[in-house]
Structure 1
Amino acid sequence: MEISRLLIVVAIYLVFRYFVRSRSSDSSATMSHGKVIQVDNPVIFKALVSSGPVVVDFFATWCGPCKAVAPVIGKFSETYTGVKFLQVDVDKARSIAQEHQIRAMPTFVLYKDGKLLDKRVVGGNMKELEEGIKSISA
């Protein structure tokens, strides 16, 4: 598939997700803040992490620490505009979570130019996560 077609598919998917989320009256099902993109499709996920710096937040809606750090992640997404911030609900996108061997929530994995970095932040250590964000955005 050509990259332009892939980008068009991603754009259509994001618009569709925006409309679905804006029509949803259940705000407890989503934990996104700021410019964070929720992803539940493995193909879209691979397209979004394929270039540039990316932070992926693996979370669960029932996870207390995930709810606590969500506003901070939203703030980071607005502060570090050159970095893509993605959220993956481990219950809705099990294949993505299994591929990344997610065992605890929240877990943050970092990508740079399509490559998964060894560095991951498990838990709510926002200072460590911000250091990782700074390193991939430099």
Structure 2
Amino acid sequence: MGMNDKYAAQEPDRSEIDALEGPAVVEFGAPWCGFCLAAQVPIASAFATHPDVRHIKIEDGSGRRLGRSFKVKLWPTLVFLNNGQEVARLVRPTDEKSIRDALRQIDPRGQ
């Protein structure tokens, strides 16, 4: 598990996300998005201390149902889940601390 650096080729159904067990982060964005690119370093740094958290990276955009089901409006949006339930959300995070704090809410055993 741990951080994923590639966007999924196909988005999962919402029911698959809701059925996830344990801690997970769904990241919505696009590979050409400047805000998304800038967020990758702090995301990677925060995930380094939470290697057991699943990271699902979803390319979002027009006609994409999963992002709409989570009411995503800006990229990147990180949705922090525990057993499929949203615990926290960050929109356009710029610092490692906010990401790490949200990760601790779903994975208190992280380093």
Structure 2 match to 1:80? 50
Structure 2 counterparts to residues 108-127 of structure 1, below 5 A? 108-117=78-87, 119-126=88-95, 127=97
| Rg larger for | 1
Structure 1 match to 2:107? 137
Match for residue 50 of structure 1 among 11, 20, 25: 20
SS at match of 2:79: strand
Q: If the length of structure 2 is used for normalisation, what is the TM-score? A: 0.76
- The superposition leaves residues 37-75 of structure 1 with CA deviations (integer Å, 9 ceiling, x where unpaired) of 633332398258611101111112231110011133233
- Which blocks of at least 5 consecutive residues in structure 1 are unaligned? 1-33
* 8 A Cα contact 1:77 1:84, kept in partner: no
Structure 1 match to 2:40? 70
* 8 A Cα contact 2:46 2:99, kept in partner: no
What count of residue pairs does the alignment treat as equivalent?
A: 104
Instruction: Describe the shift of the 1:42–1:100 C-alpha distance in structure 2 as closer, same or farther (beyond 3 A).
Output: same
User: Does 1 or 2 have the higher relative contact order (CA < 8 Å, sep 6+)?
Assistant: 2
Moved more, 127-136 or 48-57: 48-57
Match for residue 94 of structure 1 among 64, 72, 75: 64
TM-fit CA distance, 1:81? 1.1
Structure 2 match to 1:60? 30
SS at match of 1:120: strand
Report the residue type matching 1:121 in the other structure: L
Question: How large is the RMSD of aligned CA atoms in angstroms?
Answer: 2.6
- Which blocks of at least 5 consecutive residues in structure 2 are unaligned? none
Instruction: Describe the shift of the 1:67–1:107 C-alpha distance in structure 2 as closer, same or farther (beyond 3 A).
Output: same
SS at match of 1:69: helix
Q: If the length of structure 1 is used for normalisation, what is the TM-score? A: 0.63
